[in-house]
Amino acid sequence: MVSLSTWYRYLGHKFEYAVTLGWKSYQRGQISEREIGDAVWKNLFQGKLTYLHWSEGKEMVPAIGAQGGTLLVRKLPFADPMRVFVGDVVVLKDPEKSNNYLVRRLAAIEGYEMVSTDGKDEPFVLDKDECWVLADTENLKPKEAYDSRLFGPISMSSIIGRVIYCLRTAVDHGPVQNSHFSTKKDSPILEVELDVDEMVKNHKT
């Protein structure tokens, strides 16, 4: 049973998401000023804050099993340092294949100094709106991990969501370890929208 305080927090997140998405659509010229209100109400009452995403590969073991996992992903209308944090597992557009999506952990954001572990490359600082993402599996080489060590910094706008729950099998599932800030922010969304039975139904075996 979801508590009243959790529902209030959840609805607060929904309202923020609906307003931000409506304003974003207006700024992009997708809707007129008069249509902003309708867009906000539509997203507030009809849409969910999460969606299911299938991911496979050994890059994010153990957060996601090597055989793959069905992920519950929180939608993000904007990815900026106020909404995503270092340590979060995020879904992002593949920088080399625009119709493909990757799941990686956010390792650094704008202002962070990046220093090569082998000393081959000069240190550099991530520019505004840039971030650095890494695979969790540490023993993978950059080419195998297919992360920022291979393709470099990416734009924060490439991030479209944060993974908050992973179903590896029908009996092996649970919340994904994210930053403390995100875990706290996402808790009411997870409590209201998590449906393990639905995830099992959509799971690929």
Residue 101 phi, psi (nearest 5): -125, 145
Alpha-carbon distance of 159 to 76, in angstroms, equals: 8
104 in active site: yes
pLDDT tier at 1, thresholds 50, 70, 90: confident
Alpha-carbon distance of 56 to 63, in angstroms, equals: 11
Could you say which of 59, 83, 105, 162 is catalytic? 59
CA nearest neighbour of 49 among 14, 23, 25: 14
Enumerate the domain spans of the chain. 1-47, 49-202
> What was the pLDDT predicted at 112?
95
> What was the pLDDT predicted at 66?
85
pLDDT tier at 52, thresholds 50, 70, 90: very high
Cα R_g (the chain), whole angstroms: 18
Give ∠ CA 58-60-61 in degrees, rounded to 5.
70
Q: Is residue 127 within 8 Å of 193, Cβ to Cβ?
A: no
pLDDT tier at 205, thresholds 50, 70, 90: low
**For 72-117, what is each residue's pLDDT tens digit?**
999 998 898 889 999 999 999 999 988 899 999 999 999 999 988 7
pLDDT at 119 over 90: no
Which of the four CATH numbers 3.40.50.300, 3.30.230.10, 3.90.180.10, 2.10.109.10 does domain 49-202 have? Answer: 2.10.109.10
Q: What percent of the chain has pLDDT over 70?
A: 100
Give me the chain's average pLDDT, please: 93
34 in active site: no
Q: Is residue 24 within 8 Å of 77, Cβ to Cβ?
A: yes
Q: For 8-12, 44-48, 75-79, which range has the lowest pLDDT when averaged over its residues?
A: 44-48
pTM for the structure as a whole: 0.93
pLDDT at 131 over 70: yes
* Residue whose pair of structure tokens reads 């639905």 in the numeric block: 198
Q: What percent of the chain has pLDDT over 90?
A: 74
Could you say which of 9, 74, 83, 104 is catalytic? 104
Alpha-carbon distance of 130 to 50, in angstroms, equals: 24
Which carries the bigger pLDDT value, residue 89 or residue 46?
A: 89
> What was the pLDDT predicted at 14?
94
> What was the pLDDT predicted at 132?
97
**For 146-194, what is each residue's pLDDT tens digit?**
999 999 999 999 999 999 999 999 899 999 999 999 999 999 999 999 9
pLDDT at 118 over 80: no
